[in-house]
Structure 1
Amino acid sequence: MRLAMLGGGGFRTPLVFGALLTDTHERRVDEVWLHDVDEGRLASIGRVLSEMSARHPDPPRVHVTTSLDEAVEGSDFVFSAIRVGGLEGRTADERVALDLGLLGQETTGPGGLSYGLRTVPVALRVAERVAALAPEAWVINFTNPAGMITEAMQAVLGNRVVGICDSPIGLGRRAAAALGLDPRGTTVDYVGLNHLGWLRGVTSGGRDVLPELLADDGLLGSLEEGSLFGTEWVRTLGMIPNEYLYYYYFTRDAVRSITGAPQTRGEYLLDQQRDFYARLAGARSAHAEWDRVRLERNATYMREARGEDEQRGEDDVQGGGYEGVALAIMAAISRGEPASLILDVRNGSTVAGLPEDAVVEVPCTVDAAGPRPLPVSPLVGHPLGLVQQVKAVERLVIEASLTGSERLAVEAFALHPLVDSVTVARELLAGYRARIPEVDAVFRR
């Protein structure tokens, strides 16, 4: 099978390639096309993959190209992991909001809306080229904001686009492990949007064991989310929030922590990756250098939400997850190996209170026909209201990006629950247009 990886010069590409190397099935990916607009990064990541390939008897053939059409044409699967505006754009996403006293974060809040505004047109162009050159391909979207971008691409490719994220996977895995259970033997009740969902149940042996976790101080406190939100708040909710809900439940704390830090997350990663790509040229082992930086990167994830001396658990530092999900999706569709996964898919009637064509993040079964969302119990109370509000904002961003409407963009910013003023919404849009050329271009078409 042929796989195209868009954003193939990105830092996470070796994670996906490593997962491919573990696949020994006769019907596996044997040809990988890496596409990126940065030739230097393509060459660097190509070197890491070359070292990984040298350790395996029959690795996939790897090609690199800056031509989108060359990468996509004839592909069976397309992974999209693009970053429009680069990490420089991410730092602006953060700083423009922080300068106005608001949360500056890549996907949550105004920074995520800025990211979506400039990414939607590029993602749609990708979808159109896939439709023209690989109409039978499945697109697996890693690009953030994952739910919004998946929804935009589905307007062209329908259900052949599925979004994935490692965050709910990690939550389910940690909850099962805290209870001493094998995650593979459990099923989870999880529902929401990308970076905005709740774990409401963990079933093992035919019964829900989540109440046991919530009732045990030691077990709940050992869970990363228990530490992040505090055991009292998790018990108050009666369910375990996705880690990104920290930015909604502890907004002022997050803003204070990020503002007081010497760097934002984007600025840290920008410096780290510049250093990584520069050091790679003189490194004896490209893969060893990549792995060192990967562990450092994972260890500092969501640092603003932890105490000064609080460290991430070793399993979380090791990371991984979404690359395995991507492999499981391909195996289910191409080889009929059914899988149960939490994915970003078209809602249909799954989550009551949301439009049928909205993309939601829920447990799914996946087989040769693709993913099908499993029934979930309704969202009620504040989770339903929050999900409805954020989904309405996401859809405004998509429309604003497609039409170039400043009015709709201001409306999207103003209606987001983490933005507290229409005046500030206008200032946000002006700030992002001034700092990020790709955002400004949306309104100059």
Structure 2
Amino acid sequence: MNSKNGLKLTVIGGGSSYTPEIIEGLIKRYDEFPVKDLYLVDIKQGQWKLEIVGGLAKRIVQEAGVDIRVHLTLNRKEAIKDADFIITQFRVGQLDARIRDEKIPLKYNCLGQETTGAGGMAKALRTIPVILDICKDIEELASNAWLINFTNPSGIITETVKKYTEIKCIGLCNVPVVMHNVSADILGLSRDDIYLDIVGLNHLVWGRDVIYQGESKIDDIIEGLISERKITVKNISDFPWEKDLIQSLKMLPCPYHKYYYNTAKILEAELIASKNEGTRGEVVKELEDFLFELYQNPSLREKPQELNERGGHYYSDAACELMSAIYNDKGDIHYLNVPNQETIASLPNDSVIERTCYVDSKGAHPLDCKELSPKIRGLIQVINDYEILAIEAGVHGDYDAAYQALLLHPLVESSVVKPLLDDIIRENIDYLPQFSLNS
């Protein structure tokens, strides 16, 4: 990595509505992370979004007065060639596919969610062939690049890359950042003054402790949560945690635990929403229409506050901070998706976990981890096994692996696995070449 002529950063899925946050993060860190060439790349179907977002990106950069050249392209190989860092933030099938991921499970009285359960597996099956194709280009054209992935389901996609390629890849999610920020707010402290001992899987992670000046503050966090200080994200129903749950857990939950700890309540809310305002995907589609209309305003020269309503707030800023930590050999703390490598004794070494990590120029190093509590160990193991099977299904088009993955998942009713899976494959077949070849 040579900064003499500045860095080359490539964003795959550059037409995403999240991209202005990446621009903001790069500008904020320009003196320490000198990106000279920023390539925003997308596919033909997303060209109109790329042009709109790219125009806004150029105006933001110009307004900030930093020397970043913004390139817009549909040529992925051109964008990847000789890149220092590559960010993946794409959605195969766009929001229409997400809406199907939410609606198909609801037909079978199962939770419809884009990153876990049946909907999450559908998204993984569509995404795995694409990420592996992208990785072929990276291996050929930018073998020394760091791939920062926050394409969902982030844990599954990161594990696929680590298992099936030689690429330097780290997965990222905004959920631990939300947990960190809420903890700081509860304690009335600066966000820079604390760090969390987090452990688990992507969207299934617990904060076992919150550390301030070497002292545990988890009891204060638990008290704050019991006092109805909420910890949630835009795409999950916002209701308080149950007092008994928090008291007995004695850990900081993540918002996605509501799917497991309050399944019936969340399912009821989803069914009602789907008949009224629509699924979360339908709501997001309307929000994105609004955002892209906003982005076209030639006088807009900064990231609009309305982007914070999109649901992935902090993703992009966390990505910029991570890249800077690697580039500058900072040796600081981040919450990341990385291979287990004996960190959690009860999981395979090549499974990707979400863990508090030390980051330097060599990448992310998960901190040592005491044995998991029985309160969380079983659920983590089950979802880890689901993810292993989902990856095998996605890579090889293995119907039996997909079937068994859904059968294992606690958010899928076992009696409907076959018709649910058949629906998923039929409705997504245009994006599932691995199943088309095996049919």
Same fold (TM over 0.5): yes
Aligned partners of 1:60 and 1:217: how far apart in 2? 43
Q: Within 5 Å, which residues of 2 pair with 1:110-259?
A: 110-158=118-166, 160-215=168-223, 220-224=227-231, 228-259=240-271
- Among 294, 304, 309, the alignment partner of 2:307 is 294
Aligned partners of 2:224 and 2:270: how far apart in 1? 31
Distance 1:71 1:274, change over 3 A: same
Distance 1:231 1:322, change over 3 A: same
Distance 1:401 1:59, change over 3 A: same
Aligned partners of 1:171 and 1:10: how far apart in 2? 24
Q: Is the 8 A contact 2:429 2:436 kept in 1?
A: no
Shift in Å, 1:429: 1.4
Aligned position for 2:115: 107
Aligned position for 2:38: 32
- Among 97, 100, 105, the alignment partner of 1:97 is 105
SS in 2 for 1:337: coil
1:8-54 Cα shifts (integer Å, max 9, x gaps): 00110110111001123265111100110121111010111122112
Paired residues, what number? 421
Aligned position for 2:426: 434
One-letter amino acid of the structure 1 residue matched with residue 264 of structure 2: R
Aligned partners of 1:123 and 1:145: how far apart in 2? 12
Aligned partners of 1:62 and 1:352: how far apart in 2? 45
1:396-428 Cα shifts (integer Å, max 9, x gaps): 11111221121211111111111121x411111
One-letter amino acid of the structure 1 residue matched with residue 391 of structure 2: I
Distance 1:382 1:158, change over 3 A: farther
1:345 is aligned to 2:358: no
- Among 3, 8, 13, the alignment partner of 1:2 is 8
1:13 is aligned to 2:19: yes
Aligned partners of 1:4 and 1:256: how far apart in 2? 41
Q: Is the 8 A contact 1:3 1:76 kept in 2?
A: yes
Aligned position for 1:270: 285
Shift in Å, 1:210: 1.0
Query: Is there any run of 5+ residues in structure 2 with no aligned partner, and where?
Result: 1-6, 233-237
Q: What's the Cα RMSD here?
A: 2.0
Shift in Å, 1:97: 0.2
Aligned position for 2:3: none
One-letter amino acid of the structure 2 residue matched with residue 177 of structure 1: D
One-letter amino acid of the structure 2 residue matched with residue 355 of structure 1: P
Aligned partners of 1:213 and 1:408: how far apart in 2? 40
- Among 309, 327, 339, the alignment partner of 1:334 is 327
Aligned position for 1:308: none
Aligned position for 1:49: 57
Aligned position for 1:316: none
Q: Is the 8 A contact 2:95 2:285 kept in 1?
A: yes
Aligned partners of 2:65 and 2:248: how far apart in 1? 53
One-letter amino acid of the structure 2 residue matched with residue 151 of structure 1: E
Aligned partners of 2:105 and 2:301: how far apart in 1? 36
1:46-99 Cα shifts (integer Å, max 9, x gaps): 111122112112241110111111110000000001101110100000000001
Shift in Å, 1:335: 1.9
Query: Is there any run of 5+ residues in structure 1 with no aligned partner, and where?
Result: 299-318
Shift in Å, 1:432: 1.3
What TM-score does the superposition give when structure 2 sets the normalisation length? 0.91
Shift in Å, 1:376: 1.7
